[in-house]
Amino acid sequence: MFDPIQILGPEFDEPVEFGAAYQAAVQRLDDAARRFEQLAERLPESAFADDEWQIVERAAADLEAAAERADEGFLAVQFDSHAWYRIMESLEQATRRLESACGVLELVRSRPAELDGAAEGAG
């Protein structure tokens, strides 16, 4: 029988185990980090305006911090059942920041070379 109240779909019928949810979040972060690194290594710092470079640097710092917090947090879950919410939130935030930075990197990469000098002067 169709349940009109169940709007989330069958994938939410059973709660997701923390380990599986954590691994999925880490995989998304890893995918975003790999894309970020591939894009970043192709572009010289001089191709970015100051505000663009700040976004890229902040994303790189967030990635490093998220990895440290996740390792510590995974152990904390054994003692604090609410710690996993903070871990997942941290991983998601870092992933979104990396994806945003990847958007900036794509924008810079697609910009014609003659605009790169103008971007430097604007920053």
Residue pLDDT, tens place only, 1-59:
455 555 555 555 566 677 788 888 889 989 999 999 999 898 998 899 999 999 999 98
Judged on CB neighbours under 10 Å (0-12, 13-18, 19+), 30 is: middle
Provide the residue ranges of all domains of the chain, joining segments of one domain with +.
47-110
* Highest mean pLDDT of the ranges 14-18, 20-24, 91-95, 104-108: 104-108
For residues 25 and 88, is the Cβ–Cβ distance under 8 A? yes
The pLDDT-based confidence of 112 (bands split at 50, 70, 90) is confident
Rounded CA gap, 21 and 46, in Å?
39
